[in-house]
Amino acid sequence: MTRTTTAAFSAALALVAGLALGGCSSADQTDTTPQLKVSGAFMPEPVSADMAGGFLTVTNTGDSADTLTSVTSDLSDDVQLHETKDQKMRQVDSFDLPAKGELKLRRGGDHLMFMGLKRTPKKGDTVRIELHFEKAGRIGVEVPVEARTHNPQASGDHMEHGGASSHQQQPSSHDGARH
């Protein structure tokens, strides 16, 4: 082959390879990684010195579901996931987070329980937590400590804290306001 033929052949080969690889681009594939955002996090100032409740909303805008498997914190070595069904609370191993959905941890519903507190947080403090998800990994969250009566679901003026519900939830005897 001549130098001109070799150069033309190499250019054509590069073009074909580029087009073939372009067909494998990620733009043609669905992103299967959950896309998570945490909002409305708060902890009511605890009534007792040994436990507190935590509330937040996790929004998943991705095409893949995920699972909250655990929570760690500098406030407690024992952060539990609690669900409320039929006005009874129990510890669970995980919370599911659907694709294009939300996980709402709120008063009167599913929530976090911080057991055996290392210190008693006061209104105005911030508690650092880390949410552990099966697929998305770890997400750090700064949780502000609010007044014991703080309840964003009861009022429409706190939309940035997870929004108001269409009906008011009655605080359970096991959430952060009652400990």
Q: What are the extents of the domains in the chain?
A: 36-178
- Which one is predicted more confidently, 89 or 23? 89
pLDDT of residue 175: 39
Average pLDDT over residues 62-89: 95
pLDDT of residue 24: 46
pLDDT of residue 152: 83
- Please tell me the pTM assigned to this model: 0.69
For residue range 106-165, list pLDDT tens digits in order: 999 999 999 999 999 999 999 999 999 999 999 999 999 999 999 887 765 443 333 333
Query: Quick check: 92 pLDDT over 90?
Result: yes
Task: Specify the range with the lowest mean pLDDT, choosing from 43-52, 71-80, 162-171.
Answer: 162-171
36-178 folds as Immunoglobulin-like (2.60.40)
Q: Which long-range contacts (CB under 8 A, 24 or more apart) does 68-72 make?
A: 68/94, 68/95, 68/96, 68/97, 68/103, 68/131, 68/132, 68/133, 69/93, 69/94, 69/132, 69/133, 69/134, 70/94, 70/132, 71/112, 71/129, 71/130, 71/131, 71/132, 72/129, 72/130, 72/132
pLDDT of residue 12: 47
Task: Specify the range with the lowest mean pLDDT, choosing from 85-89, 125-129, 130-134, 175-179.
Answer: 175-179
Q: How confident is the model at residue 25 (pLDDT cuts 50, 70, 90)?
A: very low
